Chains A and B, each alone.
Chain A
Amino acid sequence: MSLLPYIFRRILQLIPTLVFILVVVFVLVRLLPGDPASALIGDRALDADVQRINHELGLDQPLPVQFLYFLKQVATGDLGNSLSLKAPVIDIVAQRLPVTILLTTMAAVIALLFAVPLAFLAALRQDGVVDTVIRGVFQVGLSMPVFYLGLVLLTVLAAGLHWFPVGGYGETFPDRVYHLFLPALTLALSLAAVLMRNLRSAIIGVLGAEYVDFARAKGLKSRLILIRHVLRNALISTVTLFGLSVGTLLGGAVITETVFAVPGAGRLMIDSIYGRDYPMVQGLTLALAVLVSLTFLLTDIVQAWLDPRVAR
Chain B
Amino acid sequence: MKTVITAALAVTLLFGVSQSALAVDRGGTLAYGRYADSLFLEPVLNDGNVDIWVLSNLYDTLILPTDDGQGLRPGLATDWKVSEDGLSVTLTLRDGIKFSDGSPITVDDVKWSLERAAKPDNGIWQFLVQSIDHVETEGDKTVVIKLKKTDPAILSALTVFNTGIMPKKLFEAAAGATDAEKAKAFAEHPVSSGPFMLQSWQKGADMKLAKNPYYWDKGEDGQPLPYLDGIDFQVIPDDATRILKLQSGELQGAEFIPYARVSELKNDDNINMELFPSTRVEYVTLNVRPQLNGKDNPLSNEKFRQALNYATNKRAIIQIVTHGVGTEMTSFMSKATPLHAGDTPLYPYDIAKAKQLMSESGVPAGSELTLLTLAGNQDEVGIATALQQMWQALGVKLNIQQVDNASRTEQYRAGTFQMRLAAWTDDIADPNEITSYFAYSPTIDAIHTSWKNDEVNKLFEQSQSETDPEKRREEYARIQEIFNSTGPIVPLYETPYPVALSKKVHDFVQIPLGNNIFRSTWMSK
Query: A44, B124: Cβ atoms under 8 Å?
Result: yes
Size of the A side of the interface (Cβ < 8 Å), in residues, is 48
Chain A positions within 8 Å of B47 at CB level: 40-42
Partner pick for B410 among A33, A52, A96, CB 8 A cutoff: A33
Bound CA span A166–B244, Å = 7
Assess the A261–B236 pair: CB atoms within 8 A.
Answer: yes
User: Are A95's CB and B203's CB within 8 A?
Assistant: yes
Given A44-B437, A48-B121, A86-B184, A261 and B237 contact (CB-CB distance below 8 Å): yes
Check if B238 sits within 8 Å of A259, measured CB to CB. yes
Inter-chain CA distance A154–B447, complex, in Å, is: 42
Cβ of A66 under 8 Å from chain B: no
A34 at the binding interface (Cβ < 8 Å): yes
Check if A32 sits within 8 Å of B245, measured CB to CB: no
Taking CB atoms and an 8 Å cut-off, the chain B residues in 163-208 that contact chain A are 180, 184, 187, 202-206
- Which of the 9-residue segments B53-61, B148-156, B290-298, B401-409 touches chain A? B401-409
- Encode contact with B along A145-188: 1 for CB under 8 Å, 0 otherwise: 00000010011001100100111110000000000000000000
Whether A86 contacts B238 in the complex (CB less than 8 A), given A33-B410, A44-B124, A275-B406, comes out as: no
B178 to chain A, nearest CB (A): 9
With A44-B124, A86-B39, A86-B184: A168-B203 Cβ-Cβ less than 8 Å: no
Instruction: Given A86-B184, A166-B245, decide whether A42 and B240 contact each other with a Cβ distance below 8 A.
Output: no
Residue of A nearest to B50 (CB): A84
Contact A35 B124 (CB under 8 A): no
**B235 & A263 in contact (Cβ 8 Å cutoff):** yes
CB distance from B388 to the nearest CB of A (A): 23
B204 and A263 contacting across the interface, CB-CB below 8 Å: yes
Q: Does A231 contact B (CB under 8 A)?
A: no
Contacts of B203 in A (CB 8 A): 85, 87, 92, 95, 263
Q: Which of A39, A49, A50, A56 has the most CB of B within 10 A?
A: A39
Q: Which residue of A lies closest to B247 (CB)?
A: A159
B245: which A residues are within 8 A, CB to CB? 159, 166-168, 261
Greatest chain B CB density within 10 A among A48, A56, A96, A261 is at: A261
Question: How many Å from the CB of A196 to the closest CB on chain B?
Answer: 29
Q: Which residue of B205, B235, B244, B409 contacts A159 across the interface (Cβ within 8 Å)?
A: B244
Q: For the complex, give the distance between the alpha carbons of A256 and B206 in Å.
A: 18
A43 adjacent to B406 (CB under 8 Å): no
Q: Does B234 contact A (CB under 8 A)?
A: yes
Q: Given the known A-B contacts A41-B47, A43-B422, are A35 and B410 also in contact in the complex, defined by CB atoms under 8 Å?
A: yes
B413→A50 contact, CB < 8 A: yes
List chain B residues, Cβ under 8 A from A87. Answer: 184, 203
A42: chain B residues within 8 A (beta carbon)? 47-48, 405, 409
Q: A11 on the interface (CB 8 Å rule)?
A: no
> Are A39 and B234 in contact, CB atoms less than 8 angstroms apart?
no
Residues in A neighbouring B405, C-beta threshold 8 A: 34, 39, 42, 274
**Cβ-closest chain A residue relative to B241:** A167
User: Nearest CB to that of A167 among chain B residues?
Assistant: B241
Q: Interface 1/0s, chain A 251-288, versus B by CB < 8 A?
A: 00000001111010001100100111000000000000
Cβ contacts B399-425/A at 8 Å (1 or 0 each): 000011111111111000000001000
Q: What A residues does B204 contact at CB under 8 A?
A: 85, 96, 263, 267-268, 271
Question: Can you list 21 contacts pairing A with B, beta carbon distance less than 8 Å?
Answer: A33-B406, A34-B405, A34-B406, A39-B406, A41-B47, A41-B124, A44-B437, A96-B204, A151-B240, A151-B241, A154-B241, A155-B244, A159-B247, A166-B244, A167-B238, A259-B238, A260-B238, A261-B205, A261-B242, A267-B204, A275-B406
Q: Add 14 more A-B contacts to A38-B409, A166-B250, A274-B404 (CB < 8 A).
A: A33-B407, A39-B406, A44-B437, A45-B413, A48-B121, A49-B124, A50-B413, A86-B184, A87-B184, A162-B248, A167-B241, A169-B206, A259-B240, A261-B241
Closest 4 CB pairs between A and B?
Answer: A34-B406, A263-B205, A39-B406, A261-B236
